[in-house]
Amino acid sequence: MRNPKLLGKETDQGGLYTGFDSYRIHGKAEIEEALRAGIVSVDTNVLSNLYRYNEATVDDLLEVLGAVTNRLFLPHQVIREFWRNRQSVISGLGGTSKEARNALSKN
């Protein structure tokens, strides 16, 4: 039986992971380096949820985003979706509270 560890070995023609690096299992040092120096990108929901979260959670999230500001990347599509959906997110906040009160009053 072949040793599975050999499957990831590179050869002159490449290796099993050539072009598929994201499938490789990374070691602790690689993970720590990615967390320390990697690019951080968030999707629209992260920004929209700033309106939905309680104040303490918003403060925590903004602190984390502030800590990675020099590595933070916001794709144009994320910003466009945020502005396109912002008003409906804000408008929907009252409805969520009302729905929760109604559900609680039924029990």
Percent of the chain with pLDDT over 70: 83
Over range 8-26, report the average pLDDT.
Answer: 79
63 belongs to a structural domain: yes
95 belongs to a structural domain: yes
Say what the pLDDT of residue 9 is: 63
Alpha helices in 22-75 (DSSP H): 28-37, 44-52, 55-67
Strand partners, 40: 72
32 belongs to a structural domain: no
Range of the domain at 52: 39-106
Say what the pLDDT of residue 5 is: 57
97 belongs to a structural domain: yes
pTM: 0.62
Domain count, the chain: 1
Say what the pLDDT of residue 65 is: 95
Query: pLDDT-based confidence at 8, cuts 50/70/90?
Result: low
28 belongs to a structural domain: no
45 belongs to a structural domain: yes
Answer yes or no: is pLDDT of 99 > 80. Answer: no
Say what the pLDDT of residue 48 is: 96
- Count of residues in the chain: 107
1 belongs to a structural domain: no
3 belongs to a structural domain: no
Over range 67-96, report the average pLDDT.
Answer: 92
